[in-house]
């Protein structure tokens, strides 16, 4: 809609619209898109006729009404991702979302052809979530390339009008969010970061809140958006924990769609028990070196745990960027059997920077193995993998009685005695066992069936006392699925629609 251009429409004009369908009414914030244009976006969650009425403190934008018809979601549109079953995720339509994340902090600030290449790389990758900054981070790359768009009116380094946004920056960002949406990638957008020193990190509370409201008003109607309040929040020394709580509550209040909300730590872990936090976004590489550590944050927060930063695959002199491909894959498997989710980074220097900073192409060896893992996750329980015998044998995740995924990590056993914790198991149940090589990406069925027989007050073993032979290599896993009446393992409850 056209509205006033005079003064500063970013701060002078309030503009929202109420959308109604039957008993449900949603008020969505609009935003000024420059050149006298005001927009309001809406993501309906019901089919049928929706009516709207606009509201504003300016007459030209007030009281406009209308209606439109919302049709069923098109193929491949499962809606936004939500928390499911306490520790897991699913799209709004119930389709499980098995998070395999990556990190591309500044990809929006690169030349267009590099951005296009990044989208292409992602489309062919296993990654279904990407963490990305909104405001810029200075890196070595920028010596030869200056970002053409900035979030505020003005110019770098410090000549900004922090009360006027640059609509062109946000329109461009939105195009990229839409492209990610179309290739099935969730955009974990990072509202604040401590890296850029252009002044966006040291605004006052009014400036921060204005920025948050503008971003949420613009991006909120994209179904694939997640809100990450900050990267390494505690390195932003100008904000206190109560600032983050205020900002978290503000996002919750002004986002009508309740997109996922988290905050990522540097040295100090946030109190993820705070009610505005929907899931844990954790930087701690140590925690996914073995599943016993990885499961611990589930218990302290009772929310999904995403290890968004576990160090990066690479050969950096920095020890946070020198994981081997094997170790990166290992960490994903540790997190997976512990009932948590993991994020990837690729820190091999290409030209002047890395995938994790600037996108482009992947150089590491982990991605195909993560695709292999993702397929296994998607064939697994729809409700997610949980520790089977928590605080006892953290190597075993799954769904009691139905599905088990056992990961041996750096152990190199020559065999594994078939043994299942009692929960969900009854004598006589039959299971199919497969041996998985997480690096070679092979799944080798073990001949015959295993039949559950009581061993003691805790465990069941195979009625014939069978063990599973293993090759004595690291990175091996075992998948165990209960056989149905037809002699086949149960299908995954809900398969991700590959479209």
Question: For binding to a copy of itself (CB under 8 A), which residues are involved?
Answer: 268-269, 271, 273, 284-287, 289-290, 292-293, 296-297, 299-302, 317, 319, 391-392, 394, 457-458
**Contact criterion met (CB below 8 Å) for 64 and 54:** yes
Minimum distance, C-beta of residue 427 to a copy of itself, in the bound complex (Å): 20
**Strand, coil or helix: what is 327?**
helix
Residue number with CB closer to a copy of itself (447 or 456):
456
| Residue 482 β-bridge partners | 431
Residue number with CB closer to a copy of itself (86 or 166):
86
Residue number with CB closer to a copy of itself (39 or 293):
293
Minimum distance, C-beta of residue 300 to a copy of itself, in the bound complex (Å): 5
Radius of gyration of the chain (CA): 24
User: What is 254-313 written as a DSSP string?
Assistant: H-TT---EE-B-SSS---TTSTT--SEEEE-SGGGSSHHHHTHHHHHH-S-EEEEES--B
Minimum distance, C-beta of residue 164 to a copy of itself, in the bound complex (Å): 40
Minimum distance, C-beta of residue 332 to a copy of itself, in the bound complex (Å): 18
Residue 404 CB contacts under 8 Å (≥ 6 apart), including other chains: 388, 396, 397, 398, 420, 478, 479, 480, 481
**Contact criterion met (CB below 8 Å) for 253 and 223:** no
Q: How far apart are CA 365 and CA 268, in angstroms?
A: 31
Residue number with CB closer to a copy of itself (23 or 275):
275
Minimum distance, C-beta of residue 289 to a copy of itself, in the bound complex (Å): 7
Q: Kind of pairing, strands 415-417 and 305-309?
A: unpaired
Minimum distance, C-beta of residue 409 to a copy of itself, in the bound complex (Å): 13
Residue number with CB closer to a copy of itself (287 or 478):
287
Minimum distance, C-beta of residue 497 to a copy of itself, in the bound complex (Å): 35
Residue number with CB closer to a copy of itself (201 or 290):
290
Minimum distance, C-beta of residue 391 to a copy of itself, in the bound complex (Å): 4
| Length, in residues, of the chain | 499
For tokens 């505005």, name the residue. Answer: 276
**Contact criterion met (CB below 8 Å) for 217 and 256:** no
Residue number with CB closer to a copy of itself (163 or 322):
322
For tokens 């190597």, name the residue. Answer: 395
> Which two three-digit tokens encode residue 31?
């935003």
Q: How far apart are CA 44 and CA 52, in angstroms?
A: 12
User: What is 393-441 written as a DSSP string?
Assistant: -TTEEEETTTEEEEE-TT---SEEE-EEESTT--TT-EEEEEEEETTTT
Minimum distance, C-beta of residue 270 to a copy of itself, in the bound complex (Å): 9
Residue number with CB closer to a copy of itself (296 or 492):
296
Minimum distance, C-beta of residue 76 to a copy of itself, in the bound complex (Å): 38
Residue number with CB closer to a copy of itself (151 or 394):
394
Minimum distance, C-beta of residue 305 to a copy of itself, in the bound complex (Å): 11
Task: List, in sequence order, the alpha helices (H) in 4-85.
Answer: 9-12
Residue number with CB closer to a copy of itself (117 or 284):
284
**Number of Cβ within a 10 Å radius of residue 290:** 19
96-121 CB burial, b ≥16 within 10 A, e <16: bbbbbbbbbbbbbbbeeebbebbbeb
Residue number with CB closer to a copy of itself (212 or 229):
229
Task: List, in sequence order, the alpha helices (H) in 157-204.
Answer: 167-182
Residue 119 CB contacts under 8 Å (≥ 6 apart), including other chains: 176, 179, 180, 183
Minimum distance, C-beta of residue 226 to a copy of itself, in the bound complex (Å): 22
> Which two three-digit tokens encode residue 18?
């109420």
Residue number with CB closer to a copy of itself (183 or 296):
296
Q: How far is CA 102 from the centre of its chain?
A: 8
């Amino acid at each position: 809609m056209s509205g006033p251009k005079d003064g500063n429409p970013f701060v002078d004009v309030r503009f929202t619209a109420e959308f109604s369908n039957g008993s449900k009414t949603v008020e969505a914030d609009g935003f000024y898109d420059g050149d006298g244009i005001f927009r309001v976006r809406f993501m309906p969650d019901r089919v049928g006729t929706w009516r709207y009425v606009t509201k504003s403190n300016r007459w030209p934008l007030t009281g406009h009404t209308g209606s439109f018809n919302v049709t069923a979601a098109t193929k491949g549109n499962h809606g936004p991702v939500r928390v499911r079953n306490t520790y897991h995720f699913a799209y709004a339509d119930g389709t499980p979302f098995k998070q395999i994340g990556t990190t591309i902090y500044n990809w929006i600030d690169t030349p267009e052809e590099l951005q296009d290449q990044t989208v292409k790389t992602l489309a062919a990758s296993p990654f279904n979530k990407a963490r990305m900054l909104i405001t810029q981070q200075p890196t070595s790359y920028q010596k030869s390339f200056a970002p053409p768009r900035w979030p505020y009116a003005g110019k770098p380094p410090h000549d900004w009008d922090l009360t006027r946004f640059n609509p062109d920056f946000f329109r461009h960002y939105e195009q990229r969010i839409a492209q990610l949406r179309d290739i099935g990638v969730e955009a974990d957008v990072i509202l604040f970061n401590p890296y850029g020193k252009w002044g966006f990190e040291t605004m006052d509370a009014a400036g921060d809140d204005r920025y948050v409201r503008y971003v949420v008003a613009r991006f909120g109607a994209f179904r694939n958006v997640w809100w990450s309040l900050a990267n390494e929040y505690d390195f932003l020394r100008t904000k206190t924990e109560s600032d983050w709580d205020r900002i978290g509550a503000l996002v919750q209040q002004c986002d009508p769609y309740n997109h996922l909300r988290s905050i990522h730590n540097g040295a100090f872990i946030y109190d993820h028990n705070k009610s505005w936090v929907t899931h844990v976004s954790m930087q701690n590489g140590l925690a996914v070196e073995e599943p016993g550590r990885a499961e611990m944050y589930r218990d302290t927060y009772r929310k999904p745990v995403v290890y968004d930063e576990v160090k990066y695959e690479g050969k950096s002199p920095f020890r946070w960027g020198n994981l081997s491909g094997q170790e990166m894959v290992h960490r994903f498997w540790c997190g997976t059997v512990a009932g948590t989710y993991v994020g990837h980074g690729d820190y091999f220097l290409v030209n002047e920077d890395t995938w994790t900073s600037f996108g482009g192409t992947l150089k590491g060896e982990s991605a195909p193995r993560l695709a292999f893992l993702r397929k296994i996750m998607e064939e697994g329980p729809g409700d997610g993998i949980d520790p089977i015998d928590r605080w006892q044998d953290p190597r075993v995740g799954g769904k009691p009685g139905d599905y088990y995924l056992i990961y041996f990590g750096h152990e190199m056993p020559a065999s594994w005695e078939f043994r299942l914790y009692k929960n969900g198991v009854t004598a006589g149940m039959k299971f199919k066992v497969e041996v998985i090589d997480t690096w070679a990406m092979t799944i080798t069925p073990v001949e015959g069936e295993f039949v559950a027989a009581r061993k003691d007050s805790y465990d069941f073993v195979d009625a014939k006392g069978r063990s599973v032979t293993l090759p004595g290599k690291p990175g091996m896993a075992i998948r165990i699925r209960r056989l149905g009446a037809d002699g086949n393992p149960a299908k995954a409850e809900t398969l991700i629609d590959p479209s």
